[in-house]
Amino acid sequence: MDKVFSTRLDESVAQRISGLARRLHTSKKRVIEEAVTLLESTLGESQSAVFLDQSFGAWKRDESAAETVEAARAAFRQSFERRRR
């Protein structure tokens, strides 16, 4: 199923997309899809790139999830108490 993607483009870019679609006898949608695929391949990125590898290790922790939750709760409690005074 296709997803609707709305964006504002510079008029000259929109005209270039339309012109390419006419010259290639295809839809503007197809022109954009192929352009994204080509750009992705020139950057050396694959469609199967793993999200966790791109997260710069943000998911790696020195503490357990329970410790993270407790630290967040303690910070909330401290903030709540500070506001009550």
Domain spans of the chain?
A: 11-46+58-84
Q: Are 62 and 71 in contact (CB under 8 A)?
A: no
pLDDT digits (tens, 9 = 90+) for 15-43: 999 999 999 999 999 999 999 999 888 87
Separation between Cα atoms, residue 57 and residue 67, nearest integer Å? 18
Neighbours of 31 (CB within 10 A): 19
pLDDT digits (tens, 9 = 90+) for 43-75: 775 545 566 566 666 667 788 889 989 999 999
**What's the whole-model pTM score?**
0.51
Stretch 73-79: mean pLDDT? 91
What is the structure's pLDDT at 83?
67
> How far, CA to CA in Å, does 4 sit from each of 1, 7, 9, 36, 74?
10, 10, 15, 16, 43
